[in-house]
Structure 1
Amino acid sequence: MPRSEIDEIDRRLLVSLQEDARLTTEELGLRAGLSASPCARRVRNMETAGIIKGYVAVVDQAKVGLPISVFVSIKLERQREEELDRFAAAVGRWPEIVDCYLMTGQRDYLLRVVVKDLPAYEAFLKQKLTRLEGVASIESSFALGQIKQSTVLPMVKEG
Structure 2
Amino acid sequence: MSNLDRVDRLLLQLLQEDGRRTVLDLAQRVGLSPTGASQRIKRLFGEGFIRAVRAVLEPSKIGRGTVVFIEVRLDHTAPHVFDRFAEAVAKAPEIIECHMVIGGFDYLVKARIADMATFQEFLQRVILPLPGVRETHSFASIGDLKPDALLPL
SS in 2 for 1:131: coil
Aligned to 2:67: 69
Aligned to 1:6: 4
SS in 2 for 1:98: strand
Shifted more, 143-152 versus 96-105: the winner is 143-152
Provide structure 1 residue ranges, at least 5 long, that are not aligned to the other structure: none
Is 2:19 the partner of 1:32? no
Aligned residues: 152
Q: Which amino acid aligns with 1:152?
A: L
Is 2:27 the partner of 1:20? no
Aligned to 1:138: 136
Q: Which amino acid aligns with 1:124?
A: F
Matches within 5 A, 1:1-159: 5-155=3-153
SS in 2 for 1:15: helix
User: Is the 2:89–2:130 Cα contact (8 Å) retained in structure 1?
Assistant: no
Structure 2 distance, partners of 1:119, 1:142, is 12
SS in 1 for 2:85: helix
Provide structure 2 residue ranges, at least 5 long, that are not aligned to the other structure: none
User: Is the 1:18–1:151 Cα contact (8 Å) retained in structure 2?
Assistant: no
Q: TM-score, normalised by structure 1?
A: 0.88
Structure 1 segments of 4 or more deviating over 4 A?
none
Q: How far did residue 5 of structure 1 move?
A: 3.5
Structure 1 distance, partners of 2:78, 2:60, is 37
Structure 1 distance, partners of 2:84, 2:149, is 28
Q: Summarize the Cα distance change of 1:127–1:65 in structure 2 as closer, same or farther, 3 Å threshold.
A: closer
SS in 1 for 2:73: strand
Q: TM-score, normalised by structure 2?
A: 0.92
SS in 2 for 1:70: strand
